Amino acid sequence: MLKDFINIINLNRVSSILFCLIPFALLTGPFLPDLLLSIICLFFLIAIISENLDRYYNNNYFKIFLSFFIFLLFVSFISNNITFSLKSSLFYFRFFIFGFAIWYLIDNQRDLIKYFFYSLLFAYLFAIMDGYYQYFFDSTIIGIQIDSVRLSLPFNDKLILGGYLARLFPLLVGLFIFCIKKNIRNYLLLGLLFILTDFLVFITGERTALGLIAISTIAIIVLVPDYRIIRIITFFISLALIFLISFTSSPIKERNVDFTIEQLGINSENSQINLFSPIHDSHIRSAIKMFLDNPLHGQGPNMFRKLCNDVNFNYNIHSCSTHPHHNYVQLLAETGIIGFIYMISFFLLLCGALVKFLFYFYFRREKILLNIQICIYISMICTLWPLLPTMNFFNNWINIIYYLPLGFFLYFHYSNKAKNEI
């Protein structure tokens, strides 16, 4: 028994180290963070089976995620290409298990929040430094050449640096507030982080990332009163810098302003308004055709790419891609109304929680959520935001970022120690 206990402790220590490496691993692309996640999940399953820790699976959230996973498997088995669809759904469970593993690790080592914060902060600052280096020298620090207006990850040629920064931004801010003492120096550091992030996300050329930063900014201003002033000041400084670079750098202005207006079809030369862009519009219209063909359970996970050329679903020459570039539309096409309900319900649950917080805070002068919880909610709402284009819902790199805040959400939701700090 003692030997088993010692082994579990060792597994937890290894898992904690691997967890803290996740922010750096995400900068390398999909393989390494997925490997670390899989090991963490394996060790977590060993721990809860060995110790019979039913609280981590005998709860409503675990049951909901498990039912979603079972549903994905079912839809894959009735799809037109079972083998291909199962490649996306068969091991999808690892992502939500990752969230519960984070909750378990924090429960057993509360200082892990602080360790992870510093890891995320250093990885984030390195990504920022590399992003500015790319902007000036058209190359990452390690020498990967960038032949695009957009900027790449430091250790990978994927042009998704803005997505990395924007999606992790609310979580980083929440951890900063939770782990760092309130004083002038730290306020200045946080303010500098705000400005560096805002400006770099703009020059990455990723319009979705820019939209997510805007959503996070508005949410922080409205929902985190303690940091409202500093966010407003830094936001206006960022806007001034953005206007300056827009007038002095034609490629940045053309990508983020002129091209966006053209793609949406709201300039004088276009007669049709598009959903995000003509190509996005075509993807979405094809996906809607797939949904209407099988509205209850869709065509099967990741099947859009296999069916978009089908005469029954093809809209025009731009219809095909690996995915429809919109999570809700992808779920409608590939998992039907049932899969869609899972996602929209969680989104509405989070929005409802923040509305409840606002009511209690402004009308009853009662704070029912910690600042870090609010930032975690904001992070998850950015993941579920329905009005912006997205990556493939079944992409492993983006799913690691999607499910990363879940562990912190579960810890603060279920932990009595966390509730006592409100």
Taking only the tens of pLDDT, the chain with its 422 residues reads 445 555 666 889 999 999 999 999 999 999 999 999 999 999 999 999 888 889 999 999 999 999 999 999 999 999 999 999 999 999 999 999 999 999 999 999 889 999 999 999 999 999 999 999 998 898 999 988 887 778 899 999 899 999 999 999 999 999 999 999 888 999 999 999 999 999 999 988 888 999 999 999 999 999 999 899 999 999 999 999 998 888 776 666 666 666 555 555 555 455 556 555 778 888 999 999 999 999 999 999 999 999 999 989 998 888 899 999 999 999 999 999 999 999 999 999 999 999 999 999 988 889 999 999 999 999 999 999 999 999 999 999 999 999 999 999 999 999 765 555 54
Residue 251, domain member (yes or no): yes
Residue 350, domain member (yes or no): yes
Task: Tell me the residue range of the domain where 230 lies.
Answer: 2-56+94-272+346-419
Say if CB 95 and CB 403 are below 8 A apart: yes
Q: Which of 386, 419, 415, 383 is nearest to 96 (CA)?
A: 383
Residue 43, domain member (yes or no): yes
Residue 77, domain member (yes or no): no
Phi and psi of 219, rounded to 5°? -65, -40
Q: Which of 381, 413, 416, 408 is nearest to 179 (CA)?
A: 408
* The predicted structure's pLDDT at residue 2: 44
Rounded to whole angstroms, the Cα distance separating 224 from 191 reads: 14
Query: What's the gap between Cα 395 and its chain centre?
Result: 12
Burial 400-416 (b: 16+ CB within 10 A, else e): bbbbbbbbbbbbbeeee
Residue 46, domain member (yes or no): yes
Rounded to whole angstroms, the Cα distance separating 220 from 214 reads: 10
β-pair partners for 385: none
Rounded to whole angstroms, the Cα distance separating 201 from 210 reads: 6
Rounded to whole angstroms, the Cα distance separating 135 from 38 reads: 34
Q: Which of 65, 103, 375, 100 is nearest to 215 (CA)?
A: 375
How many structural domains does the chain have? 1
* The predicted structure's pLDDT at residue 269: 57
* The predicted structure's pLDDT at residue 265: 53
Say if CB 13 and CB 40 are below 8 A apart: no
* The predicted structure's pLDDT at residue 264: 55
Residue 229, domain member (yes or no): yes
Residue 233, domain member (yes or no): yes
Residue 331, domain member (yes or no): no
